[in-house]
Amino acid sequence: MGRTSRQPTGIFITLEGGEGSGKTTQARRLCERLTAHGLDVLQTREPGGTLLAERLRSLLLDQTVETIAPETEAYLIFAARRQHVDHVIKPALARGMTVVCDRFSDSTMAYQGYGRGLDLRALRTMNDWATGKLAPHLTLLFDVPVAVGLSRRRGGTTTQNRLDRETERFHRKVRAGFGALARKELRRIMMIDSSQPLESVAQTVEALVMNWLKTYRARTSRRR
C-alpha cells in the first residue's frame, strides 16, 4: 500500500422521511439483505444509538414533559448526534462496516428547519459542528402523503409520541422540506415512493442500494 492509499472506510447509509413512511421497517429489511450479500452491517437510529443519546430520545418523545422550545429541541438532538457519531458511527465506519441509520441530519433540517421554522443556515452550521461534517454517502428518502403515514402509525403497534400531536400542517411542511433537500442534493438523496406496498418498496430499496454500491465501488477503486 502506497502512502497515498486511502484508509479503508465503511459506507454510511441513512433512511429519512416523515412519520409512518416506513423507515424502520425498511431499515430492518435492508440490513438483512446487505448482510446476505456479505456486508458487515450496523443498524442504528437517531435520536439514539448510545446510552446518553437514547435517554435524550426518551425526553424528546415524552408527551408529558414540559413545553420544549424549538431551539431546545434542536440542541438536544445535536447533543445526541455528537455522542452517536463519536461512539458508534465513526468507529464502525473506521472498521469498514456498512452503517444503516434510521434518521440523521436531514431529519433535523426537515423537522426543526422547515417544520418548526428555525433558521436553516444556523441549523446547518450547528449540524456541521455536531457531526464534524460527517455526511451520509447515500440517503433513502421515503415519501408518502402525510395522511397515509399518520394513519399507518395509528394503525401500527408503535405508541404515540410527542410528534404525533403535531398538526397535519406541520407534517406537510416537514414533507415539503424533505422534498426541497432532495432537490438540492440529487446525487446523495434518492426519493422512494413509499405509498407502494411494503414488499414492492423493499424490492425498490434493495435494487437501488445494490446498484448504487456497484457504482460507488467502481468509483472508489478507480481513485485508489
Ligand X SMILES: Nc1ncnc2c1ncn2[C@@H]1O[C@H](COP(=O)(O)OP(=O)(O)OP(=O)(O)O)[C@@H](O)[C@H]1O
Number of amino acids touching Mg ion (CB under 5 A)? 2
Burial classification of residue 168, based on how many CB atoms lie within 10 Å of its CB (0-12 exposed, 13-18 middle, 19 or more buried):
exposed
Q: Give Cα separations from 221 to 1, 41, 93, 166 (angstroms).
A: 13, 21, 17, 46
Binding segment for ligand X (CB under 6 A), chosen from 17-25, 36-44, 123-131, 176-184, is 17-25
Please, what sign has the CA dihedral across residues 147, 193, 20, 168? negative
Of 180, 175, 185, residue with least CA distance to 149: 175
Of 101, 99, 59, residue with least CA distance to 79: 59
Q: Output 90 or 138, the one with its CB closest to ligand X.
A: 138
Residue closest to Mg ion (Cβ): 24
Is 177 a binder of ligand X (CB under 6 A)? no
Q: Output 126 or 139, the one with its CB closest to Mg ion.
A: 139
Binding segment for ligand X (CB under 6 A), chosen from 18-26, 89-97, 131-139, 205-213, is 18-26
Binding segment for ligand X (CB under 6 A), chosen from 21-29, 166-174, 180-188, 213-221, is 21-29
Residues that bind Mg ion (CB under 5 A): 23-24
Residues that bind ligand X (CB under 6 A): 17, 19-25, 152-153, 156, 158, 194, 196-198, 201
